[in-house]
């Protein structure tokens, strides 16, 4: 269990995290979603005691991270896969971590096996590809067999096979009753790998809930193709609907359900050729939610490539 309690972090002139307040529960995969620069990594660093909170606090299992006796036995984290001395071998890197938290030596080979880098464990980390470093980072996070796991943008640098592997891996960890907290700027990734999602933008809380809830509550649109588009537009407009687009393909209507549009058309004597409810994709919901919260957005803001 991770608890974020009115957390605020200010770097000299920027407010990186602004009064965040939420909990991450065990047994599910919780996605931490926001555009780049929205404060996800900062929040994770404060959870791990690397950065100091300006106000509020973050606790794990009711304690501040720095108070934990052998912390990596309780919390495993992968923040930055390349944050390893390049001149040291993977095995020695993990052995040093194990020794510092009094973890038995044989565990090092277990996690190396598990992430599939045993064959290169005696090579210097500097020679690793990003994908291999990512796997080493995961091995480090699992080393202490912790009940809480934090991953910052874990799919970056993984090949499709690795991405599939890591999704199943998160699911398995959660099924074992662990707390799994995964950040990403990719809504599509979170849609398939997370159960619960917490959305932030510009350091502020935007919304949270299950993936289903988030798309259900989002405003969907209805695509209508009819005999008389002009008349239908007028009828829709006079019944609190909004017509977004009108062309040969049909009308894109929001504010009304497909049932309501069908009934209005029938009453007005308009023949409907096609009536399709268009449920908002999670991606669109995300774009809507974080609109204006993208720190480095281009004109055509695309959070998937918002580097």
Partner 1 sequence: MANESTLMATTKSEWLKFRTVRSSIMGVAVTVLLTIGLGVLITTLVRTHWTQLSPLRVATFDPVSSSLRGSLFAQFAVGVIGTLFITSEYTSGSIRTTLTAVPNRLRLIAGKCIVLLVTMLILGEFVCFAAFLIGQRIYLGVVPTASITNGTVLRSVILAGLYLALLALFAFALGLILRQSAAAISVFVSVLLIVPIIGLFFPQNWQNDFTRFEPSTLGVSMQSPFAPSNSFGAWSATLILLAYVLGTMAVALVLFQRRDAGSNQ
The contact set with partner 1 (CB under 8 A) reads 11, 41-42, 45, 48-52, 65-66, 68-72, 75, 77, 79-80, 82-89, 92, 95-97, 99-102, 140
44 token code pair = 């994770």
The span from the CA of 204 to the CA of 244, in Å, is 30
Pairing of strands 179-184, 29-33: parallel
> Residues 236, 256: contact at Cβ < 8 Å?
yes
Q: Where are the alpha helices (DSSP H) in 61-103?
A: 90-100
Quote the least distance from Cβ 201 to partner 1, whole Å. 20
Pairing of strands 196-201, 29-33: parallel
Quote the least distance from Cβ 293 to partner 1, whole Å. 21
Nearer to partner 1, 19 or 80 (CB): 80
Nearer to partner 1, 106 or 298 (CB): 106
303 token code pair = 């959070």
Question: How far from chain centre, in Å, is Cα 112?
Answer: 26
Nearer to partner 1, 102 or 217 (CB): 102
Neighbours of 150 (CB within 10 A): 26
Nearer to partner 1, 100 or 267 (CB): 100
Quote the least distance from Cβ 80 to partner 1, whole Å. 6
Nearer to partner 1, 9 or 185 (CB): 9
Quote the least distance from Cβ 14 to partner 1, whole Å. 11
Quote the least distance from Cβ 86 to partner 1, whole Å. 6
Neighbours of 69 (CB within 10 A): 9
Quote the least distance from Cβ 149 to partner 1, whole Å. 12
Nearer to partner 1, 48 or 272 (CB): 48
Give which of 65, 62, 61, 30 is closest to 48, Cα–Cα. 65
The span from the CA of 72 to the CA of 49, in Å, is 12
The span from the CA of 241 to the CA of 11, in Å, is 45
The span from the CA of 126 to the CA of 137, in Å, is 13
Nearer to partner 1, 200 or 253 (CB): 200
The span from the CA of 173 to the CA of 179, in Å, is 8
Quote the least distance from Cβ 163 to partner 1, whole Å. 23
């Amino acid at each position: 269990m991770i608890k974020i309690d009115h957390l605020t972090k200010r770097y000299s002139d920027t407010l990186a995290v602004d009064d965040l307040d939420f909990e991450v529960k065990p047994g599910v995969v919780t996605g931490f979603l926001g555009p780049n620069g929205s404060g996800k990594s900062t929040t994770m660093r404060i959870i791990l005691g690397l950065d100091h909170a300006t106000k509020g606090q973050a606790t794990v299992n009711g304690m501040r991270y720095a108070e934990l006796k052998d912390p990596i036995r309780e919390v495993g984290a992968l923040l930055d896969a390349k944050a390893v001395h390049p001149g040291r071998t993977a095995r020695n890197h993990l052995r040093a971590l194990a020794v510092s938290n009094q973890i038995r030596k044989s565990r090092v080979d277990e996690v190396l096996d598990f992430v599939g880098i045993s064959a290169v464990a005696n090579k210097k980390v500097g020679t690793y590809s990003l994908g291999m470093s990512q796997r080493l980072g995961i091995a480090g996070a699992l080393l202490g067999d912790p009940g809480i796991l934090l991953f910052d943008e874990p799919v970056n640098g993984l090949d499709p096979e690795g991405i599939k592997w890591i999704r199943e891996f998160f699911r398995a960890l959660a099924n074992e009753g662990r707390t799994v907290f995964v950040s990403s700027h990719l809504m599509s990734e979170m849609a398939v790998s997370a159960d619960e999602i917490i959305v932030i933008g510009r350091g502020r809380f935007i919304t949270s809930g299950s993936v289903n809830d988030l798309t259900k509550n989002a405003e969907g649109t209805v695509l209508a193709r009819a005999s008389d588009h002009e008349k239908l537009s007028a009828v829709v407009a006079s019944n609190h609907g909004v017509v977004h687009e009108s062309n040969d393909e049909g009308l894109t209507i929001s504010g009304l359900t497909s049932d309501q549009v069908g009934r209005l058309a029938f009453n007005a004597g308009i023949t409907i050729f096609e009536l399709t409810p268009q449920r908002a994709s999670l991606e669109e919901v995300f774009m809507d939610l974080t609109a204006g919260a993208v720190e480095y957005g281009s004109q055509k803001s695309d959070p998937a490539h918002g580097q």
